[in-house]
Structure formats: structure tokens, C-alpha cells
Amino acid sequence: MKTLFLTNEYPPHIYGGAGVHVDYLTRELAKLCEVDVRCFGNQDVHGDQLRVRGANVDTAGYTAPKNLHSVFGALQRCLTFNTLDIDADIVHLHTWYSHFGGILAKLNYGIPMVLTVHSLEPLRPWKREQLGGGYDFTVWLERTAIEMADAVVAVSDDTREDILRLFNVPRERVHMIPNGIDTDEYHKVHAPEKLTPLGIDPARPYVLFVGRITRQKGIIHLVNAIKHIDPQYQVVLLAGAPDTPEIAEEMKAAVEAARAAHHGGVVWVANMVDTPTKIAAYSHAQVFCCPSIYEPFGIINLEAMACETPVVASAVGGMKEVVVHGETGLLVPVLQQNESPFEPIDPPMFSHDLGHAINHLMSDAELRTRMAAAGRRRAVENYSWCTVAKRVHELYQELLDR
């Protein structure tokens, strides 16, 4: 069996959970079958059963509006993917960037199409800020791909229900297979020397955020919560890759205001750090906070739990399934407007509740110790990439047997 992965992100160009998913899943799947990865970039990898080829596109001659370049660039790459020796038995898509390529492969080469849902465009209306009219196109493209897919993989039960609610897909065609974590790589370490160059004082307790600067990740709500956090604690934000210049400026202003109100120190690292540094940051943190207002799964919570760090997370999406309230961390309710997770009904109250939950865990060392052990145990026992890959491989085989 041979599977063709179409994806935007692949090492070394990873900026979100979907890229992490593809990286680890393809490694494990390559132990079970041939894997052919087509991605955005200049990658060129030859392995025993893993082949990776990147595709670049020159947008310098585009006269379309700047915010449409990523849309048209994605479509051109998807065309390139399909003109190069497609001989796979299955095509597997990851994020809207690859959906057009999957449609072309399914129709032109007659191979079954599998689509993993890492997030859903109708539940990310803030993407219009980034893409303009391109957002309407990505909504259409995602719907078209999901409804014609031979199998749709949801990364959580909550996401599966969203798919069934929003799209015309038979229930039996939607399969829940969660994300995973490499607990051999992600484990507690003692590496304070990796923190001091970032401006973090490893001798002082801190709460940590890791993620992109985007509406979805809810980082502004955490920054607004800083004034409620006990000033004896540091706040560390490993936050980069803003969606738009406007969001970047909003973040900058919010952090400046938080620093003026919080004397415990606010450390903002505005570039993405490497994995060993991220693991060190998780390991030395007393609490990890994930304030997302939309999160189909939330791999970052698993990363923190594997590093024995208790989690404070918003009670949305798949995070309600990953984080066990009162056992591996605390879940903070988010009352949202209508069906859209664009904004909490009461943002100041949400920020207040985040701060209160963080203070509660930061002040209780015994509770944190219990949660740290429970979080590590849950990551090891329930979210192995090896298990995830076996389930995906079984799904492929089921489709081919049909």
C-alpha cells in the first residue's frame, strides 16, 4: 500500500498543530506502508518508505490583492503536486491548502480520498481579516472536499459532531482518530540554560503560553488576564506568527498594558522556538495555559501534560476530551455568541476566570504534583502516535478492501 499526503506544513516549515500531526504521523505510517509527502517548500527527503517533495511558487508577479496570494499560491502548488508521478493507492489531505490537490487526485487518478479535519473554516470567521474574499473561497473548497471525501477523520468527538452538523456527510463516513504525542521526546527535563537567553528567570515560578498570535488561540484573553495573576508569578508568552499586521499591533499594545499592570514580569518571545527549548519551557513552568476560543484538539496541551505540567485550558472543542478537569488540569468555561466561537459573550469575565484558575494552581504545589503525574500518565496511555498510525492504516485498508 502507498499513501500520498498533501499538506502545507512539513519540517522544517511548521507553525501549527496540523504540521506537528503530519510530521509524526508520516514517520509512524512509514513503518507500515510507503508514504509520499507533497508539501509547501523546498523539502527533498529520501527514506526507505518515506519520500518528501516540496513545491514552491513565485508570487512576485501576482497583481491580485496581497491577502489572496496565499490562496492562489496554494492552488498552484496543488496543480504541481498532481503533475508529478502520482502512483499512490490513497490520497490524504491536511488543511484547506491541500484540498484542491486532493480533489484533482481523486478525480484524475481515481484513488480514494481521505481528509483529516484539523479545524473548520465556518468556525473560524476571523480568517476573513487575513484572507478577505479568499475566506469565502476556502469555505467553499473545504465543504466541497469534505462532502466528496471517501473518509473524513475528526481529531476529537466534538469535531466529529461539528462535521456532521455543518456538512452533508453520512455519519459512517466520519471517523474519530485523535492526535498523538511522542512521549519519548516530550518528557520533563532540567534545562534552565535554555530559558535564560529568552529572558525567563527559571528560579521564579511562571505560567506559560505556547502558540500562534491568532484569534483562534485566544491569546489576547490571556494577556488581558495578566492583571488578575498574582504578581509573584512570571508570565511567559512563546507567541509568534501573527495572522495579520493588525493582530500583531493589537498584541503589542495589550502586552505593553499588561507589563505596566503586572510587576511579576511578562516575558514575550515573539519568534517560534525550537523543540528542545519548547520542552524546557514546558518542563520548568508551574502551569501551562491554553485560552483558545476554538480548538478541535489542542496538541500543545498534550505536550505540556507529557512534560508533567498541569494545564489551565478553555472548555472548548477537543480540549474537553484531552484535559480531565480536576485531574490533569482545570477547564475554564467560555460562554460564546450563537454558534460562532469568534468571541466570548463576556471577554472580561473569561479573562478574570483564566486568571483565577491560574492563581489557584500556582498556589497549590501539592495539587500541581498530582496533576503533573496524572497528565503524564494520560499522555502515555492514550495518545501514542504508533496507535494513531495503526488506526489510520486500518482505515486505508478498509477503503481499499471496499
Is residue 243 scored above 90 in pLDDT? no
Is residue 97 scored above 60 in pLDDT? yes
Q: pLDDT class for 86, splitting at 50, 70, 90? A: very high
- Give the integer Cα–Cα distance in Å for 391 and 393: 5
Q: pLDDT tens-digit profile of 116-158?
A: 999 999 988 888 888 999 999 999 999 999 999 999 999 999 9
Q: pLDDT tens-digit profile of 141-200?
A: 999 999 999 999 999 999 999 999 999 999 999 999 999 999 999 999 999 999 999 999
Over residues 42-71, the mean pLDDT reads 94
Please answer whether residues 127 and 135 qualify as being in contact, where contact means their C-beta atoms are separated by less than 8 angstroms: yes
Closest C-alpha among 20, 23, 16, 48 to residue 37: 23
Over residues 41-59, the mean pLDDT reads 95
Is residue 249 scored above 90 in pLDDT? yes
Q: Of 38-52, 222-236, 255-269, 368-382, which range is least confident?
A: 255-269
Query: What is the pLDDT at residue 342?
Result: 58
Q: Of 22-26, 64-68, 336-340, 381-385, which range is least confident?
A: 336-340
The burial class, CB within 10 Å (0-12 / 13-18 / 19+), for 399 is middle
The pLDDT mean for the chain works out to: 94
Domains of the chain: 2-180+384-401 (3.40.50.2000), 192-382 (3.40.50.2000)
Is residue 285 scored above 90 in pLDDT? yes
Q: What is the DSSP string of 356-395?
A: HHHHHHHT-HHHHHHHHHHHHHHHHHH-BHHHHHHHHHHH
Query: What is the pLDDT at residue 340?
Result: 52
Q: pLDDT class for 215, splitting at 50, 70, 90? A: confident
Beta bridge partners of 311: 288, 329
Which residues make Cβ contacts (< 8 Å) with residue 328, sequence separation at least 6?
305, 310, 311, 371, 374, 375, 378
Helices then strands, each counted (H, E), the chain: 14, 14
- Give the integer Cα–Cα distance in Å for 105 and 115: 13
Q: Characterize the bridge pairing of strands 151-154 and 174-176.
A: parallel
pLDDT above 90: percentage of residues in the chain? 87
Query: What is the pLDDT at residue 306?
Result: 97
Q: pLDDT tens-digit profile of 11-49?
A: 999 888 899 999 999 999 999 999 999 999 999 999 999
Give the type of residue at 180. Answer: G
Is residue 72 scored above 90 in pLDDT? yes
Over residues 104-108, the mean pLDDT reads 98
Q: What is the DSSP string of 237-250?
A: EEEE--SSHHHHHH
Q: What are phi and psi of 329, to 5 degrees?
A: 170, -165
Host H or E run for residue 256: helix 245-261
Over residues 102-124, the mean pLDDT reads 96
Beta bridge partners of 152: 115, 174
